[in-house]
Amino acid sequence: MTQKVIIFDFDGTIADTVDALVTIANRLAVEFGYIQITPEELALLRTFTSREIIKYSGISLFKIPFLLKKVKGELKHKIQEFKPIPGIHEALIELQTQGYRLGIITSNSQENVIAFLENHELDQLFDFIYSGVTIFGKTTIINNVLRQKKLKTQAVIYVGDETRDIEASKKANIKVIAVTWGFNSREALAKQNPNFLINHPSELLKVVKNC
């Protein structure tokens, strides 16, 4: 029987970084030429896809890679402050104990992710951490990981908190579990028709068993 591999997004899925990312984004708004996010707008943006957010913000596509690099640098200085999503620690341990192989694909830096995992004694749970930068989706990155790790698509499940995670997983022909505790709203995630939609990390094991 093929071992199932559960690949997690990091920001908003494992680490509670959404508020910090909004704060950093607002601080860099003038430098990169996009609008700042008010609390009211944040509620609106949670209902948008990644493409809609970029269009709404007015940022130049050419500036996005530079913005992401700057954001990762700022996150490095805050990594000690971040906490895991409530319940995710227990869920990850449970998944590993049940024999699932765990990995991470993130647009954050590998250095930041490793520092966070070590800080919260989660570093021994993951077989691999893959960092890559994309503007709209993660399909290329997912496909690269599948190829490098020689993973069969039917054995892989992706777990993420954004509409782009769902879109990328579908394009890569892998199943996807969307989680409502991160950036995008439940309604926005549901519109993208993920294989599963869950509200708490405690639901992960049951859902994975049914995949």
16 is catalytic: no
Q: Where are the alpha helices (DSSP H) in 18-158?
A: 18-27, 29-32, 39-45, 50-57, 64-78, 88-97, 110-119, 139-148
Tokens encoding 30: 């003038």
- Of residues 9, 11, 161, 165, which has the active-site annotation? 9
Tokens 């599963």 belong to 196
Tokens 């607002």 belong to 26
- Answer yes or no: are the C-beta atoms of 112 and 131 closer than 8 Å: no
- Answer yes or no: are the C-beta atoms of 210 and 177 closer than 8 Å: no
Separation of alpha carbons 156 and 164, rounded Å = 17
Tokens encoding 66: 């530079």
- Answer yes or no: are the C-beta atoms of 208 and 100 closer than 8 Å: yes
Separation of alpha carbons 55 and 92, rounded Å = 35
- Answer yes or no: are the C-beta atoms of 181 and 200 closer than 8 Å: yes
Query: Known catalytic residues?
Result: 9
